[in-house]
Chains A and B, each alone.
Chain A
C-alpha cells in the first residue's frame, strides 16, 4: 500500500499563473478530501468527494479554486489565477467507511510569489 500520493511536493509559481495539484488516493477508498493548512487558519476542508462525486465544496474559498475527480484513482485541485494568499500546504486524504479514519498524503507546499 503506497498510501495517498500527492504531487508535486513543492510548487513555486508567480501570481496569476495556473496551479494544478494532484492526488492519488488509496485503492479501495471511496472518499477523497482536499485540505489547506496555514498558520493563520489551521486545517480547512476545501472539498470532498464520495464515489468520485463532489459532495461538499462549501470550503472552496472562491471561484478561482476548482477540483475534479475524473475517476476513483485521481483527483486534481486547480487554482486559476493564483494569488500570494493561496500560499499554503495542501493536503489530500482518502478514507472508506468503517475503517481507520482518513489517510493523509504528504502534502504539496505551494508558494505564490
Chain B
C-alpha cells in the first residue's frame, strides 16, 4: 500500500535561513510526487510536482525538491526562508486518480 511519511511535525527556522522538509514514501512503482502548502484557513496550494525526468524540480515561491529513488525521498528545500512561508506543508504521492497525503509539517519562522 502506498504511504507517505513526514517525520517532522513542527520545524522552526529563522528568517533568511535555509529550509529542508523531509518526505519519505512507499509505493509500488515510481509515483507522481507533490508538495502542497496550506496557509491557515485556506485550501492547499500546489508548490511543485515530479512526474519523471530531472530529479530536481523547481516550484513556486522559490521552493525546490529533489527526488531520490534510492532513498524513496522527495525533500522540499528553500535557500532563504521568508516570514510569509510560515504555513503547513504536505507531501503527497500517487497518481492523478488517487493521492495519499502525509500528515504535514508545520513551519514556523522566527524573526
**Chain B interface residues (CB < 8 Å from chain A):** 32, 34, 36, 42-46, 49, 90, 92, 96-104
Contacts and interface: CB of A to CB of B under 8 A. Distances in A.
Closest 5 CB pairs of A and B: A104-B43, A43-B101, A104-B44, A42-B103, A106-B43
The interface size bin for chain A is 20 to 34
Contacts of A105: 43
Contacts of A33: 99
Interface of A: 4, 31, 33, 42-43, 45, 48, 50, 55-56, 91, 93, 95-98, 100-107
Given A42-B101, A42-B102, A107-B42, 4 more contacts: A31-B97, A42-B103, A42-B104, A48-B98
Q: Is the interface of B mostly helix, strand, loop or mixed?
A: strand
Contacts, number: 49
Contacts of A100: 46, 49
B43 A55 contact: no
A52 to B, nearest CB: 14
Contacts of A42: 101-104
A99 to B, nearest CB: 8
A91 B101 CA distance: 13
A95 B98 CA distance: 10
